[in-house]
Amino acid sequence: MKRFFNKKITDCLRRVGVMAVLVIEDPRHAVPTAKALLRGGINVMELAFRTPNSPEALRRILAEVPEMIAGVGTILFPEQIKNAQNLGAAFGVSPGFSREVVAEALERRFPFAPGILTPSELEMAISFGCQTVKLFPAQISGGASYIRAIHAPYSHLGIEFIPLGGLTPSNIGDYLKYDYIPAVGGSWIAPVELIRSENWNLITARAKEAVAIVQKLRNGSI
C-alpha cells in the first residue's frame, strides 16, 4: 500500500500524540497561537480553513514559526488541495470522504488524510491507498471502543486512525492506548475563544497538560 500521508508527518504525530485544531479569525493571532502551542510541546497543528483569513494565517505561521508542522483542515473541494499545497502546508485533512479531493491529493502527491466514520468510507479510503485517516466525529460515535471495532477487520493493513471530534483531556487516554491511533486531535487546546481573547498562557497550559497525559500513558504510569 502506498504511503499517502507521509512518514515524516505520521512519525511526528506519533511522537507528540496530540494535534491542535485551530480556527483563526484574525491573522495577527496566527503566530502567537502557534508559538503558544510550541511552548506547550505541541508542534503539529491543523489550521481549519473556515475563515476568509485562514490562508493568510497559514502563510504567517509557515514563514515565522518554521518548527511548527502546519497542515490544513476542512478541505472540502479539490481546488483547496492545490491552494494548500501552493501555500506550503505540510498536509491536509478533511472531515469526510470526497473521492474528488482524495484523487486530487494523490495526483499532486500532497499528504492527505480523509475523514471517515464507517467501514464503507474506510474501504473507499483504502481503495485510494490512504493509510492514515481522520475518524470524525469520534467521541459521539462511540469513542475508542468504536475505533477498536472498526479497526479489527482491517488490522492486517496497518491503517492508522486519528480521532477528532469531542476529545478532551478526560478521554484522550482511552484512544492513545491503541497502537493504531498514533495521535488524537481537537480544538480544546486552542479554542477560538482563547485565541480571540489572546490567552496565550492558557493555550500553552492546555498543550502542556495534553502532552503530559500522552507521556504518562506511554511511560505506563496511567
Largest CA distance in the chain: 46
What does 152-179 look like in DSSP terms, one character per residue? GGGGGGT-EEEE-SS--TTTHHHHHTST
79 catalytically annotated: no
Q: CA geometry: angle at 50 spanning 206 and 45, to 5°? A: 35
> If binding means CB under 6 A, how many residues of this protein chain bind ligand 3PG?
11
Q: Which of residues 115-144 bind ligand 3PG (CB under 6 A)?
A: 136
Does 48 bind ligand 3PG (CB under 6 A)? Our answer is yes
Q: Which of residues 68-97 bind ligand 3PG (CB under 6 A)?
A: 73
CA proximity to 176, closest of 141, 138, 206: 138
Instruction: Single out the residue of 9, 19, 21, 61 in contact with ligand 3PG (rule: CB under 6 A).
Output: 21
**Do 71 and 44 contact (CB within 8 A), yes or no?**
yes
Cβ distance to ligand 3PG smaller for residue 40 or 73? 73
Spell out, one character per residue from 155 to 184, where the chain touches ligand 3PG: x when CB under 6 A holds, - when not.
Answer: ---------xxxx-----------------
- Of the candidates 25, 100, 107, 134, the residue annotated as catalytic is 134
What span, in angstroms and rounded, lies between the C-alpha atoms of 75 and 90? 13
Q: Work out the number of other CB atoms within 10 angstroms of the CB of residue 65.
A: 19
Residue bearing cell 478533511: 94
Cβ distance to ligand 3PG smaller for residue 94 or 107? 94
Instruction: Single out the residue of 187, 190, 200, 203 in contact with ligand 3PG (rule: CB under 6 A).
Output: 187
177 catalytically annotated: no
Active site residues: 46, 134
| Chain contacts with ligand 3PG (rule: CB under 6 A) | 21, 48, 73, 136, 164-167, 186-188
